[in-house]
Amino acid sequence: MLGVCRYAGEVAIFAGTGLAHAVRPPLYGRLLWRAFVEIAYFSLPVVALTAVFTGMVLALQSYTGFARFNAEGAVATVVVLSITRELGPVLAGLMVAGRIGASFAAEIGTMRVTDQIDALTTLSTDPMKYLVAPRLIAATIALPLLVMVADVLGVMGGWIIATAKLGFGSGAYLVSTLDALKTMDVVSGLVKAAVFGFVVALMGCWHGYQSKGGAQGVGQATTAAVVSSSILILALDYVLTELFFAR
């Protein structure tokens, strides 16, 4: 218990310090842009493919279940609400955690074990402002943009299966989708995405920053960053869903 509390406190202090540097000038615009491109642009293919095939599988499985109760017309509603509220932000967050969280942890961890972070301090450059703050800002901005793309592609994947395989009319399916979709469904997913992006960047930077012990320590930090990010994404997903949709 003491270890858990100490870990949570250290992460909270690290997050607070990173946020403080993120909102105070100066900001390293070049590093911020590089982190944003790495997250948003280079993560787009894996997020897009995940979203498309998730929408396809969701439509197929929903139809199989609803056919038992003669409720096939609810497929469009289930697909669009599941994608925008839950599966879009959660799956995008997990994909980015596996790719970007590991990348951040490995990069910063290598800098730690090779004393490059100490060299930054010697050169009067704050490592938190130089290494952590740009990544926190970039991930918080980039993941909602990825989720917007994932929402569109996930719904499109469901539409493809519904019209090409399940016998739905294209117009009727799209009308059902638009009727079921509300503004809060999209907004809640984007808010979740921003929180997940911050968590992924935070865990990657934290574990990299704390790594020690050479190459083995960097590998352990990379693994810990992905695992902790994934667990926190799933836990925070429940908390945010409770806040948005609990009655």
pLDDT in tens, 200-225: 999 999 988 888 877 788 888 889 89
Q: Is residue 245 part of a domain?
A: no
Axis crossing angle, helix 214-245 with helix 102-113, rounded to the nearest 10 = 140
Q: Is residue 127 in a domain?
A: yes
* Helices first, then strands: H and E counts in the chain: 12, 0
3 assigned to some structural domain: no
Diameter over CA atoms, the chain: 70
Say how many domains are in the chain.
1
> Range of 225's domain?
36-239
Most confident of 99-108, 122-131, 191-200: 191-200
Q: Is residue 160 part of a domain?
A: yes
d(C-alpha 50, C-alpha 84), whole Å = 14
**Among 64-73, 191-200, 236-245, where is mean pLDDT lowest?**
64-73
29 found inside a domain: no
CB 200 within 8 A of CB 97: yes
- Is residue 23 assigned to a domain? no
Is the Cβ–Cβ distance between 70 and 175 less than 8 Å?
no
Note the pLDDT of residue 171. 85
pLDDT score recorded for residue 52: 93
Report if residue 30 sits inside a domain.
Answer: no
Nearest Cα to Cα of residue 151 among 194, 172, 181: 181
- 70-79, 89-98, 180-189 — which is least confidently predicted? 70-79
Instruction: Name the pTM for this structure.
Output: 0.89
* In a domain? residue 5: no
What residue type is assigned to position 21 of the chain? Answer: H
How many Cα atoms are found within 13 Å in the side-chain-facing hemisphere of 208?
Answer: 28
Residue 168: phi and psi, rounded to 5, are -80, 150
Three-state DSSP class for residue 142: helix
Q: What pLDDT, on the 0 to 100 scale, is given for residue 247?
A: 65
Cis peptide before 26 (omega within 30 of 0): yes
How far from each other are the two terminal CA atoms of the chain, in whole angstroms?
Answer: 33
